[in-house]
Amino acid sequence: MRIGVDLGGTKIEAIGLADDGSIRARRRVPAPRGDYAATVAAIRDLVTAIAAEAGAIGPVGVGIPGTISPATGLIKNANSTWLIGHPLDRDLAAATGRQVRLANDANCFALSEASDGAGSSHRVVFGAILGTGCGAGIVVAGSPLTGPNAIAGEWGHNPLPWPQPNELPGPLCYCGRHGCQETFFSGTGLALDFRSATGRDLDGPAIAEAAAGGDAAAEAAMQRYEHRLARGLAAILNLLDPDVVILGGGLSNLGRLYVNVPRLWGAFVFSDVVTTPLVKNRHGDSSGVRGAAWLWPPGTPATV
């Protein structure tokens, strides 16, 4: 039994995951936004509760919206900014009395889907999250690819490939640059593009629903989105050539993406034939917390 924790910006979820992939216990609490000490305490209490309910005596994996700097051992690149600059893994180990591993939440998503989800039969998995933001994780032979700078999979902060004149310089990203893929591929980016074109405020699913209902402006926005996403994923295929691409996040529920994007990306992939499947995740919102638990192999003791 292992414990997985998904530390989000608005909520913290924890599960007890058995070796067969079944969830024995699940709890969720609001995230103490802006308060690092309270965040550590909330995770400690969740771990204690899960252990009591499920008999989870194993170690703890935590998915975070950021990563650990290999240079300092401190959290960096977290949009939950109150985590930045803290030794979260060490503080959680001290608070819980258990072994703790941290990983980027997108890596946890990809690991979950590669372990027993939509990518379980594939060796190289690229998992892209299209939600409020835009991130990605890479799993090779069952292990997340992190890299020496702990930034492997930071797909959202590359520029949009093959940009068209009306896409330059692109929207301003929170990282300080213009035209990052996150500003185009996220649900927020789709809504912004639609608002810029129409003056109307709809979120991503509502835009897709309007398009299905015959709204020409919504259909044009969806076609722009699909063409951009196809270009972004084509660049991944050219560089990584993964066995499967799995979509997560709220926009992954738009069924038209799985038909239209592969139809479009062939024009940008450097190959005569593209056989890579584009598929929806299997575990939905549970992928992040499940992947956090999968950070530890079965049978790992709770403490050293």
How far is the C-alpha of 61 from the C-alpha of 53, rounded, in Å?
A: 18
What single-letter DSSP state applies at residue 70?
Answer: T
User: Residue 56: its pLDDT value, please?
Assistant: 65
User: Residue 298: its pLDDT value, please?
Assistant: 78
User: Apex CA 252: angle with CA 247 and CA 256, to 5°?
Assistant: 110
φ and ψ of 134, to 5 deg: -150, 115
User: Residue 115: its pLDDT value, please?
Assistant: 94
How far is the C-alpha of 245 from the C-alpha of 228, rounded, in Å?
A: 16
Whether residue 2 contacts residue 20, with contact meaning beta carbons closer than 8 Å, is answered with no
User: Residue 304: its pLDDT value, please?
Assistant: 63
What secondary structure does DSSP assign to 156-199, as a single string? Answer: GGSBPSS--GGGSS-PBPTTS-BSBTHHHHSHHHHHHHHHHHHS
User: Residue 161: its pLDDT value, please?
Assistant: 98
Q: Provide the whole-model pTM.
A: 0.92
> Which CATH number does the domain 2-108+288-293 belong to among 3.30.420.40, 3.40.50.720, 3.40.630.10, 3.40.980.10?
3.30.420.40
The boundaries of every CATH 3.30.420.40 domain in the chain are 2-108+288-293, 119-281
* 103 bridge partner residues: 63
pLDDT tens track, the chain, 304 positions: 899 999 988 899 999 999 888 999 999 999 999 999 999 999 999 999 999 999 867 899 999 989 999 999 999 988 789 999 999 999 999 999 999 999 999 999 999 999 999 999 999 999 999 998 899 999 999 999 999 999 999 999 999 999 999 999 999 998 899 999 999 999 999 999 999 999 999 999 999 999 999 999 999 999 999 999 999 999 999 999 999 999 999 999 999 999 999 999 999 999 999 999 999 999 998 999 999 999 998 778 888 6
Whether residue 232 contacts residue 161, with contact meaning beta carbons closer than 8 Å, is answered with yes
User: Residue 257: its pLDDT value, please?
Assistant: 98
Whether residue 132 contacts residue 189, with contact meaning beta carbons closer than 8 Å, is answered with no
User: Residue 246: its pLDDT value, please?
Assistant: 98
Residues near 223 by beta carbon (within 8 Å), at least 6 away in sequence: 260
CATH H-level superfamily of 119-281: ATPase, nucleotide binding domain (3.30.420.40)
